[in-house]
Amino acid sequence: MHIVIPGALPEPEVAAELAPHLAQRAPTLARWLGLGTPRSTACPAADTWCTPLEHWLLQARGFAPAQEEHISAGLGPLRLPGADDEPVWLAELIHMAPSRDGAALLPADTLTITAEQSAALLESARELIEDSGITLTPDTPETWRVHWPEPIRLACASPALVAVSAVNDWWPQDAAARPWRRLVNGLQMAWYEHPVNQQRLQDGLAPINSLWLYGGARRSQLSRPLPDDLRIETALQAHAAAQDWGGWIEALAGLEQHSFAPLADATPTVVLTGREQTVALDTRAGWLRRLRPLDWRRWWCNR
């Protein structure tokens, strides 16, 4: 079993203050952390163009980037299984809002997008899309597949990464991206007063006012399936991103009660992610380690 816990690696200066709370509120997790030898992997966003969780998932799938391809390109085939081996480009429906850094992105999983809303927005943009030469076909209400009229080389960041940074840092400026930028600019104007968004505003929801492009790799670049019995526990993720450490502690206690304690006798591989790092621990320790667990606070607080 693999248990992946995004947001479970606070920065060292914060981790030192949180360690006593982890030991008290999540004793099962604390015991696991003492049984395994930590194996750390650096995954700086400037190199990966994706989040540490996405980086771990792509490595777990055995993704092999092509030459000059960021590992984030593998998110296309990772998110959209299928039979063909064409490059898998995806466009995620998002909300883009002004911010002091230029623009901020709200990803689709925060927007509550219905199939009807997605279909209406796509239908309203048919003419713009046809004129662009780019083809968009719905996959899910939140994601459309992108087909280019000819092969393209383009580096695109994960929308999940952009959501916790700034759009201006990742907005594609390559000449190859000009057709996409023109299309997105047209969609933003077409959707500004669209009935779907007018209704969303009345309902207190953020408008769906743009698309974010990502992916580009082929399914054949994924060489293996994800581990069996994979569990991804995301309760800490938003609190860590917002540096809401009180909420983080309460969410940790909830994970202990509902997810960790029922597995107290298990020996999972535990994967923790931080801002630009993952740490994996195999808890299948020998008898000596079980008698004398590691002091997990040393590595958890001093990475």
pLDDT string in tens for the chain (303-residue length)? 999 999 999 999 999 999 999 999 999 999 999 998 899 999 999 999 999 999 999 999 999 999 989 999 999 999 998 878 999 999 999 999 987 777 899 999 999 999 999 999 999 999 999 999 999 999 999 999 999 999 999 999 999 999 999 898 998 888 889 999 999 999 999 999 999 999 999 999 999 999 999 999 999 999 999 998 999 999 999 999 999 999 999 999 999 999 999 999 999 999 999 999 999 999 986 655 665 667 899 999 987
Same domain, 7 and 81: no
Same domain, 97 and 186: yes
Query: Among residues 198, 221, 244, which one ends one of the domains?
Result: 221
108 neighbors 93 (Cβ within 8 angstroms): yes
Query: Among residues 177, 195, 221, which one ends one of the domains?
Result: 221
Query: What b/e string do you get for 165-202 counting C-beta neighbours within 10 Å, with b at 16 or more?
Result: ebbeebbbeeeebeebeebbebbeeebeebebbeebee
290 neighbors 265 (Cβ within 8 angstroms): no
Same domain, 101 and 166: yes
pTM of the model as a whole: 0.94
42 neighbors 276 (Cβ within 8 angstroms): yes
Same domain, 184 and 256: no
Cross-sheet strand order for the sheet of 277-282: 39-42, 277-282, 269-274, 2-9, 230-232
Number of folded domains that form the chain:
2
Same domain, 114 and 179: yes
CA neighbor of 172 nearest in space, from 184, 151, 152, 156: 156
134 neighbors 179 (Cβ within 8 angstroms): yes
